[in-house]
Amino acid sequence: MNRLIRTELLKQRTTRTFTAALAAVPVVAGLVVVASFSAAGKQGNEPLGPDHLLQAVGAPASVVTLIALLLGVLGTAGEYRHQTITTTFLGSPRRRQVVVAKLAVHALVGAALGVLSVAVSTAVALPWLRSGGIPVELSGDVLRVGAGLVLSAALYGALGVSVGALVRNQTTAVAVVLVWLLAVEGLVGDVFAGSGIVHWLPAAAGRALVHGASGDGLSAPLAAALFATYVVVLAVAAVRFTVRRDVT
Amino acid sequence: MAAIELRGLTKRFGELTAVDDLTLELGSGTVTGLLGPNGAGKTTTLRMLLGLVAPSAGTATFDGRTYAELDEPARRVGAVLEASSFHPGRRAVDHLRILASAAGLPTRRAIEALERVGMAGHAHRRVSGFSLGMRQRLGLAAALLGEPSVLILDEPANGLDPEGVHWLRDFLRAQADAGRTVVVSSHLLAEVAQTVDHVVILDKGRLVASAPLVEITSRATGAVVVRTPDAERFRAELTGRGVRAALTGPDQVCATGTTPEVVGRVIGALGLVVYEMRLEQSNLEDVFFSLTAKEGARS
């Protein structure tokens, strides 16, 4: 199993997509701070205050989790696209272990991207606020949002692996996750407005896991449990499907 | 002892039976050509042998064990199934490092394998810039990583230029000389005829022939071609004497299953004007074609 995990890590490290993702996360995290802090106190925006640290840490979550998700999708669907799945399964005929290694590695990659994002946000925001004479510290809330982002990105990475393994066609798999995130959950929210069902959908649970309850939404711990359940169910389906299907 | 054994191997895709009750043994240290027209079931057979496609019935084993049951499959069996199974953005050496890592092999094997296929100079180039011939070589390097005793290649000559085919032939010969058991599939017999010891012919998923190459070539028979202005009468005379003959041109008759002596006596008896008479040795491709076509007509 260690061998397979090392191999999957090596696969990630040897593509430019991964390098680009690794470079994009700190840039996004830094820019988010610069943009929101520069605009503070202007044109009716709230002036800089202690709450801005919490915002700065949580704000890149949607981008970071999307990157983790797409890396996961490419990690499996990309193997089918480039037919490397053949050599992968020739080298490791125990397919269940291959999928489990991919789930583990992409959770790890997601978590690493999350840590990177939180670190850069804090490193830029904290001195900025302090130099403005605003008393800020790494409060429990900031740590909770930071940890939520890391956990969410890890779970999204694994989720991407499962979607890629189930859909197999890379273009379709990417389209499926984007359409889901950008349209489906919003539509469900509109159609069943007021029922609260929208809070139980995966992306909403992923958001609540980072940012905590909004309005009548789920609390962060409940959202974490729900989102993790989605991830596990899809992972089990992905393993079973991958083991059964012919590679032609 | 047979290195590879197929027992009643069958694969059905819905209504279609791609491989039909295939039973076959391939000896250790032999080079086998797995031949048949496109759609004969060659690829499906090889994929079942390698555990990528689950058989509907029957078994395919290496020394009695299925591919998935082998302890370190990459050290036992090397395979190239597709013309290109690489991430285009990856460097050649990284592709091999990944496979070496999965097989638990030292990473230096990656460079060594590239040297073996004459690609060491391209180790750090990305695969997207590779020609088909270079990709084929990279695939072979991947198959050789674990120094396997069995090498399985699916249509390795597809799309190669004549130089590439020549290189491949030498490569296969070298692998055979090194004592490896090689299975190479092709839809063209001539492509592998110089390399293989044993020929297995499939058609419509069924085994048509499994024999040493020499036995297959001995089935090749000659034809006598005669050019004469009186072609139609000559054809009728030959047929009347029990010789199979056909018009193959306005002034040309082709007699098969006979000898130049027989045809010459008929010419003499008729006092025929002859522009040309030649013996045409039918090639392996004709034998191959006649075997598969016959099988097709029966079904």
Tell me the pLDDT tens digit for each residue of B152-206: 999 988 878 888 888 888 888 888 888 899 999 988 777 777 788 899 999 899 9
Q: Closest residue of B to A79, CA-based?
A: B87
Kind and range of the H or E run holding B80:
strand B77-80
Q: Determine, for residues B51 and A89 on separate chains, whether the beta-carbon distance falls below 8 Å.
A: yes
CB contact under 8 A, B52 and A90: yes
Q: A89, B73: Cβ pair inside 8 Å?
A: no
How much is the pLDDT for B83?
A: 79
Closest alpha carbon within chain A to B75: A91
pTM: 0.85
pLDDT over 90 at A143, yes or no:
yes
pLDDT for the residue A27: 96
Q: How far apart are CA A222 and CA A214, in angstroms?
A: 13
Residue B280 binned pLDDT confidence (cut-offs 50, 70, 90): confident
Rounded to a whole number of angstroms, the distance from the CA of A5 to the nearest CA of chain B is 9
Cα distance between residue B158 and residue B224, in whole Å: 34
- Would you say residue B295 has pLDDT above 70? no
| B16 in reach of chain A (CB within 8 A) | no
Residue type at A178? L
Question: Can you tell me the distance from the alpha carbon of A23 to that of B30, in angstroms, rounded to the nearest whole number?
Answer: 52
d(CA B142, CA B136): 10
Contact list in B for residue A94 (CB cut-off 8 A) is 68
- The residues with which B225 forms a beta bridge, in sequence order, are B254, B278
Chain A contact present for B47, CB below 8 A: yes
Structure tokens at A154: 């890890």
Residue of A nearest to B94 (CA): A14
Q: Which of A115-124, A218-227, B215-224 has the lowest mean pLDDT?
A: B215-224
As to burial, measured by CB atoms within 10 angstroms (0-12 exposed, 13-18 middle, 19+ buried), residue A133 is: exposed
Confidence at residue B113, expressed as pLDDT on a 0 to 100 scale: 95
User: How many Cβ atoms sit within 10 Å of the Cβ of residue A37?
Assistant: 18
Answer whether B85 sits within 8 Å of A84, measured CB to CB. yes
Complex prediction ipTM: 0.89
Strands (E), A172-212: none
Residues of chain B neighbouring A11 (CB-CB closer than 8 A): 87, 98
Find the mean pLDDT for residues A110-135: 94
pLDDT per residue as tens digits for the range A175-223: 999 999 999 988 988 888 878 888 899 999 999 999 887 777 889 999 9
Instruction: Kindly list the residues from chain B whose CB atom is less than 8 angstroms away from the CB atom of residue A84.
Output: 85-87
Token pair belonging to B1: 């002892």
**A245: which 2 tokens?**
């299907």
How much is the pLDDT for B194? 79
CA A206 to CA A180: how far, in whole Å?
13
As a whole number of Å, the end-to-end CA separation of chain A is 25
CB spacing of A15 vs B91 below 8 angstroms: no
Tell me the pLDDT band of B283, cut-offs 50, 70 and 90. Answer: low
How many Å separate Cα B295 from the centre of its chain?
A: 18
Q: Do B82 and A17 touch (CB under 8 A)?
A: no
DSSP assignment string, A157-171: HHHHHHHHHHH--HH
d(CA A9, CA A180): 28
pLDDT of B219 reads 65
A90 lies within 8 A of chain B by CB: yes
Q: H-type helices in A40-94, by residue range?
A: 51-58, 61-81, 84-91
Q: Could you read off the pLDDT of B20-55 as tens digits, one per residue?
A: 999 999 988 889 999 988 889 999 999 999 999 999
Would the CB atoms of A86 and B82 count as touching at under 8 Å? yes
The per-residue pLDDT for range A38-86, each reduced to its tens digit, is: 888 888 888 888 889 999 999 999 999 999 999 999 999 999 999 999 9
Report chain B residues whose CB lies below 8 A from the CB of A19: none
What mean pLDDT is reported for chain A? 93
CA-atom Rg of chain B in angstroms: 24
Q: Does B230 touch chain A (CB under 8 A)?
A: no
Give the best residue of B47, B82, B85 to mutate against chain A (max A CB count within 10 A): B85
Q: Does B53 touch chain A (CB under 8 A)?
A: yes
Q: Which residues of A touch B53 (CB under 8 A)?
A: 246-248
Interchain pair B103, A91: CB under 8 A: yes
Kindly tell me if the per-residue pLDDT of B218 is higher than 80.
no
Contact (CB<8Å) A84/B70: no
Q: Which of residues 208-247 of A touch B (CB under 8 A)?
A: 244, 246-247
CA proximity to A113, closest of A3, A246, A12, A2? A12
